[in-house]
């Protein structure tokens, strides 16, 4: 199904935001013929000298070769180039996969005028197929010559697989009274159940922030964003989220930030977390075949950690998700998902609501239950389900989408 014409998700933004340039970042896209024909499938970003980098990656025990490469090079904390291709994940490809990454880095380093270890690489697409890195010969050199400060939407399009719309966002923040800019892109629609981060996402800023501070901000920021969304409960081998800071805002008077406890970081932190959350939501809204964006809230749990496990149990339940697709407020399936989570729960204290409508209360159907009202609510695009366990103070929120026939159609012939 990848690469074939599919309808744009009804949950896609009605208009694409205009993402401004990030000083110190230039990029270009190209058609390398990795898998798709007649569309861009490789993106090269060039970063000015001094760019700091942070990243979080899949915790899969079968990570891709690019993930291994990035993890190793992240230790130095600096970056000069990023190469991303779609159509082939270069995962489960053994020695050939590692050689392919090394060759890609060598080609990119020559094009960017830097060392191979300053190149960060990500790949997305089919698992288990060798990636022919020789296809990047000439292509990356040409990209380097054509690299400009935009438009970001081109970069977002080049890294798509089964995505139905490109995902690019921006935020502005102030550090010590001076403005800095953030820009982020993401791809992802299926195989989404983050355990780090998820899919591929790249965020850039001109703020002068040291790598250890970036890492701390990113590692914390994913907890309530990328690590709180799920489409199908499957964690990719290639999950990569990286944050780059060029430091160019220093020329405008922005002070260098070298400590995570610096109070001047507060505005930047809010902007970054907001950007990560919206990017994560866009991935959910582009879930393969998705027609409903679903917010699962769990309250009254034994702990926040327990609440999140219960929330994910609900969000990942095929029975809950198909009921939502059918616009059926089948709260019995929510009860089932709470009960199977393996977390402390008490049937007789459990309350469940769909939106503001109480459907179950104290372990039974709510006396005020109104079938017509809840049926009307289920026809909306944004569904909120709240489960209050009534046994503690732990709470959590995760986001997911419904499960439709289109998901099976997309994934039934993904390799063809």
> In the chain, how many domains are there?
2
Q: Are residues 381 and 278 in the same domain?
A: no
- pLDDT of amino acid 355: 97
- pLDDT of amino acid 13: 94
Res 75 pLDDT > 50: yes
Other CB atoms within 10 Å distance of the CB of residue 266 = 12
- The tens digit of pLDDT for each residue in 92-138 reads 999 999 999 999 999 999 999 999 999 999 999 889 999 999 999 99
Q: Are residues 217 and 335 in the same domain?
A: no
Give me the catalytic one of 51, 58, 162, 198.
198
Q: Is residue 5 part of a domain?
A: no
Strand 351-354, strand 357-361: pairing = antiparallel
Q: Are residues 279 and 406 in the same domain?
A: no
198 is catalytic: yes
Q: Is residue 143 part of a domain?
A: yes
Q: Is 88 annotated as a binding residue?
A: no
Res 3 pLDDT > 90: no
Pick the last residue of a domain from 285, 311, 331.
Answer: 285
DSSP assignment of 255-323: PPB--TT-GGGHHHHHHHHHHHHHHHHHHHHTSTT---EEEEEEEEESSHHHHHHHHHHHHT-HHHHHH
Q: Is residue 322 part of a domain?
A: yes
Q: Are residues 34 and 64 in the same domain?
A: yes
Q: Are residues 159 and 281 in the same domain?
A: yes
* pTM of the full structure: 0.93
Q: Is 75 annotated as a binding residue?
A: no
- The tens digit of pLDDT for each residue in 200-232 reads 999 999 999 999 999 999 999 999 999 999 876
Q: Is residue 20 part of a domain?
A: no
Q: Is 49 annotated as a binding residue?
A: no
3-state secondary structure of 10: coil
Count how many Cα atoms sit within 13 Å of the Cα of residue 264 in the half-sphere of its side chain: 17
3-state secondary structure of 358: strand
Q: Are residues 57 and 139 in the same domain?
A: yes
For residue 194, give the CATH number of its domain. Answer: 3.60.70.12
- The tens digit of pLDDT for each residue in 306-341 reads 999 999 999 999 999 999 999 999 999 999 999 999
Q: Are residues 365 and 243 in the same domain?
A: no
Q: Are residues 199 and 56 in the same domain?
A: yes
pLDDT band at 233 (very low <50, low <70, confident <90, very high): low
Pick the last residue of a domain from 234, 267, 285.
Answer: 285
pLDDT band at 61 (very low <50, low <70, confident <90, very high): confident
For residue 373, give the CATH number of its domain. Answer: 3.10.20.340
Pick the last residue of a domain from 267, 285, 303.
Answer: 285
Q: Are residues 42 and 105 in the same domain?
A: yes
Q: Is residue 13 part of a domain?
A: no
- The tens digit of pLDDT for each residue in 241-291 reads 999 999 999 999 999 999 999 999 999 999 999 999 999 999 989 877 789
- Give the domain range for residue 386: 293-412
Q: Is 58 annotated as a binding residue?
A: no
Q: Are residues 267 and 310 in the same domain?
A: no
Q: Is residue 8 part of a domain?
A: no
Q: Are residues 354 and 397 in the same domain?
A: yes
Q: Is residue 120 part of a domain?
A: yes
- The tens digit of pLDDT for each residue in 177-201 reads 999 999 999 997 655 555 554 479 9
Q: Is residue 11 part of a domain?
A: no
- pLDDT of amino acid 199: 77
Q: Are residues 109 and 183 in the same domain?
A: yes
């Amino acid at each position: 199904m990848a690469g074939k014409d599919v309808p744009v998700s009804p949950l896609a933004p009605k208009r694409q935001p205009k993402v401004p340039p990030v000083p110190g970042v230039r990029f270009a896209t190209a058609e390398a013929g990795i898998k798709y024909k007649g569309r861009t499938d490789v993106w090269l970003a060039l970063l000015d000298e001094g760019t700091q980098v942070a990243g979080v990656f899949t915790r899969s025990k079968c990570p891709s070769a690019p993930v291994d490469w990035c993890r190793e090079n992240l230790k130095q904390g600096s970056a000069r180039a990023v190469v991303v291709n779609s159509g082939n994940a270069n995962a489960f490809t053994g020695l050939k996969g590692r050689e392919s990454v090394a060759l890609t880095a060598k080609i990119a380093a020559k094009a960017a005028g830097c060392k191979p270890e300053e190149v960060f690489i990500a790949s997305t697409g089919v698992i288990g197929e060798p990636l022919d890195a020789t296809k990047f010969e000439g292509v990356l050199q040409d990209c380097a010559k054509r690299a400009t400060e935009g438009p970001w939407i081109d970069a977002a399009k080049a890294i798509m697989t089964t995505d139905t719309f490109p995902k690019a966002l921006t935020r502005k923040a102030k550090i010590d009274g001076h403005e800095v800019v953030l820009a982020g892109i993401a791809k992802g629609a299926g195989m989404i159940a983050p355990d780090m981060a998820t899919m591929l996402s790249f965020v850039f800023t001109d703020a002068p922030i040291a790598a250890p501070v970036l890492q701390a901000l990113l590692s914390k920021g994913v907890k309530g964003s990328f690590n709180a969304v799920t489409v199908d409960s499957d964690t990719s081998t290639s999950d990569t989220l990286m944050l780059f800071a060029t430091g160019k805002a220093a020329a405008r008077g922005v002070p260098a930030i070298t400590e995570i406890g610096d109070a001047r970081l507060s505005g930047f932190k809010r902007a970054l977390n907001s950007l990560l959350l919206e990017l994560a939501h866009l991935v959910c809204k582009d879930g393969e075949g998705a027609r409903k964006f679903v917010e699962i809230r769990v309250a009254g749990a034994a702990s926040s950690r327990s609440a999140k496990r219960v929330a994910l149990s609900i969000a990942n339940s095929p029975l809950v998700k198909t009921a939502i697709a059918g616009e059926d407020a089948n709260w019995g399936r929510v009860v089932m998902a709470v009960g199977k989570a393996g977390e402390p729960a008490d049937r007789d204290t459990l309350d469940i609501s769909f939106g503001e409508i109480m459907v179950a209360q104290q372990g039974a159907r709510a006396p005020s239950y109104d079938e017509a009202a809840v049926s009307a609510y289920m026809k909306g695009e944004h569904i909120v389900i709240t489960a209050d366990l009534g046994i503690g103070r732990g709470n959590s929120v995760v986001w997911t989408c419904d499960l439709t026939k289109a998901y099976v159609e997309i994934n039934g012939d993904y390799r063809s």
